[in-house]
Amino acid sequence: MKFEAAVLSESHAPLSIELLELAQLSDTDVLVRVQATSLCHTDLEAVEGHFGTPLPLVPGHEAAGIVEWIGKSVTQVQIGDHVVMSWNPHCGECFYCTRHQPILCEPYRARTAQSYHFDGRPRLTREGGAPVHQLMYLGAFAEVCVIDERCAVKVPHDIPFNRACLIGCGVRLASVRRRISQKSRKARQLL
Ligand SMILES: [Zn+2]
Ligand SMILES: [Zn+2]
E-assigned strands of the chain?
2-7, 16-22, 29-37, 57-58, 63-70, 82-85, 124-126, 131-134, 144-148, 152-155
* Closest listed ligand to the CA of 108: 2
Higher confidence at residue 172 or residue 75? 75
Residue 90: closest CA among 70, 74, 104: 104
Predicted TM-score (pTM) of this structure: 0.87
Residue 171, classed as helix, strand or coil, is helix
The answer, yes or no, to whether residue 178 has pLDDT greater than 70, is: no
Segment 54-80, tens digit of pLDDT = 999 999 999 999 999 999 999 999 999
| Cα–Cα distance measured from residue 107 to residue 118, given in angstroms and rounded to the nearest whole number | 7
Please tell me the distance between residue 189's alpha carbon and the centre of ligand 1 in angstroms: 32
Average pLDDT score, the chain: 91
Name the burial class of residue 142, with classes exposed (0-12), middle (13-18) and buried (19+) by CB atoms within 10 angstroms of its CB. Answer: buried
Angle at 34 between CA 100 and CA 76, to 5 degrees: 40
**Domains of the chain as residue ranges with CATH:** 2-190 (3.90.180.10)
Please tell me the distance between residue 191's alpha carbon and the centre of ligand 1 in angstroms: 34
The answer, yes or no, to whether residue 181 has pLDDT greater than 80, is: no
Q: How confident is the model at residue 139 (pLDDT cuts 50, 70, 90)?
A: very high
In angstroms, what CA-CA distances link 59 with 27, 37, 78? 24, 10, 25
Please tell me the distance between residue 169's alpha carbon and the centre of ligand 1 in angstroms: 5
Residues sharing a CB contact under 8 Å with residue 75, sequence separation 6 or more, in sequence order: 149
Mean pLDDT of 137-157: 96
| Cα–Cα distance measured from residue 182 to residue 184, given in angstroms and rounded to the nearest whole number | 6
| Cα–Cα distance measured from residue 111 to residue 124, given in angstroms and rounded to the nearest whole number | 17
Please tell me the distance between residue 191's alpha carbon and the centre of ligand 2 in angstroms: 33
Q: What percent of the chain has pLDDT over 90?
A: 80
For 20, other C-beta atoms within 10 Å of its C-beta total 23
The answer, yes or no, to whether residue 174 has pLDDT greater than 60, is: no
Residue 57 in contact with residue 139, Cβ under 8 Å?
yes
